[in-house]
Chain A
């Protein structure tokens, strides 16, 4: 189980990797921007879920 807040970055990294692949294949820079930003937003949300839970490190 993920308990360290820094692992939340993985949630964002998945979408950023997806953005890179999508950009290389489609050259649709609007879509790349949305996927990249989704990665940042997901990393923030995952951080909140992991670090925001009371005594998250002990679970």
Chain B
């Protein structure tokens, strides 16, 4: 968003490198960096993606005579709420540590940034392992009525997004260890944190809908 044609075709205008840097800085005033811009647009599309899944769930639920369907006592997810509740707390905590990392890199504290990012990544991985463990404990599958289909589709796609976020965090951590981020240059960190917060918010909505509502 902040790059311009002026910057992309320097040979046509004959600017020096210093002038190009000045132009780039001028164009960046008041705008959003490209990584953050791209992430916000991506999150907007992801909102609609999850909206489709939630809409399907609510549509099925509102049209069903009984919810959860009778016939399998395992459909009563409140009986298995302990582990998902703990995982929810871990994911919320990971959002907090992610934000602590952002605040740290904004003030140039790389050590605190790396520590907070590592903790965020570990919490995310624990969440994923916990979700897989939870799947193994449930005695219904994705083909067991619309309830099983919607449950596994919603939680499965969310898990895939957490996995994607964990990969992003791993890249950020690796680049952070290589010293590529500073108080002025850390757009990738900001973009990754936006995505991680989004994934966290989606899980809170999922947990509330599936286990509490």
Chain A residues with a Cβ under 8 A of chain B: 27-34, 36-38, 40-41, 44-45, 47-48, 51-58
Contact = CB atoms under 8 A, between A and B. Distances in A.
What 8 A-B pairs have minimum CB-CB distances, sorted nearest first? A37-B51, A30-B59, A29-B58, A30-B55, A44-B44, A55-B30, A33-B55, A41-B44
Given A30-B55, A52-B1, A52-B37, A57 B30 contact: yes
B208 to A, nearest CB: 13
Q: Is the interface of B mostly helix, strand, loop or mixed?
A: helix
Nearest to B53: A33
Given A33-B51, A45-B41, 19 more contacts: A27-B62, A28-B62, A29-B61, A30-B56, A30-B59, A34-B48, A34-B52, A38-B51, A40-B47, A41-B44, A41-B47, A41-B51, A47-B40, A48-B44, A51-B32, A53-B31, A54-B31, A55-B31, A56-B31
Given A29-B59, A52-B37, A54-B2, A34 B51 contact: yes
Contact of B29 (A27, A37, A45, A54): A54
Contacts of A44: 40-41, 43-44, 47
Contacts of A53: 1, 30-31
B30 A30 contact: no
Nearest to B31: A54
Contacts of B131: none
Interface residues of B, number: 26
Interface of B: 1-2, 27-32, 37, 40-41, 43-45, 47-48, 50-52, 54-56, 58-59, 61-62
A57 B59 CA distance: 43
B173 to A, nearest CB: 27
Contacts of B28: 54
A37 B1 CA distance: 25
Contacts of B44: 40-41, 44-45, 48
Nearest to A40: B47
A54 B213 CA distance: 44
10 contacts: A29-B62, A31-B55, A37-B55, A41-B45, A41-B47, A44-B43, A48-B40, A52-B31, A53-B1, A58-B30
Contacts of A48: 32, 37, 40-41, 44
A3 B81 CA distance: 46
Contacts of A40: 44, 47
